[in-house]
Amino acid sequence: MNEQAEIAGAGERARPRARLTVYFWLATDAAIATIVGSLMPWVTWDGGDRSGTDADGVITLVLAAIALLALFAHLLRRTERLLNVSAVAALIALAVAIYNVFDINSDDFELLGGPITDVSVGWGLWLTVGASALLLVTSLIAAGRAGRAGEQAPSRETPASPAP
């Protein structure tokens, strides 16, 4: 009797665990990079900068943390659903980050109660945009591969016996 069958119990076939793909690990790295980008400068100007956590970076930080937790939970459960949670969190984080890029580049952007000259998008916001986009794509690919692996795996249920 093999080890998986022993774990599953007598008379029950164990479902093999889906392999973790490179896309899963890229998604994990992208979630961490999104967290880092959320903490770094989102707006820069002649007199200084503001980090993402001074504004909407808190939203992307929480969403990236949710995605990272879903990815870690996937290590234990190996379900496609958890990868989809990561993808949805990444999609929302990407939308928030892109909105902020357009907001900072708009003519009516104000900071500290008034208009600021020579304002530009900080590197933290660019990192958040790129990393959340990568997180979205890699989570979706990993979910697709996990779903296919689940379809190919044998079921734990025993087939129904034919009617007499």
Distance CA 55, CA 42 (A): 9
Q: Where are the beta strands (DSSP E) in 69-147?
A: 110-111, 114-115, 120-121
Q: What are phi and psi of 56, to 5 degrees?
A: -75, -5
Q: What are phi and psi of 155, to 5 degrees?
A: -80, 155
Whether residue 96 contacts residue 56, with contact meaning beta carbons closer than 8 Å, is answered with: yes
User: pLDDT at position 119, please?
Assistant: 84
Distance CA 108, CA 114 (A): 10
Residue 148, SS3 per DSSP:
helix
| Domains located in the chain, CATH noted | 19-108+115-151 (1.20.140.150)
Distance CA 109, CA 116 (A): 8
| Model confidence, pTM | 0.76
CA 13: distance to chain centroid? 32
Mean pLDDT for each 10-residue chunk of the chain (164 residues)?
Answer: 47 53 92 97 86 92 97 88 95 97 79 72 96 97 78 46 58
Report the amino acid identity of residue 62. V
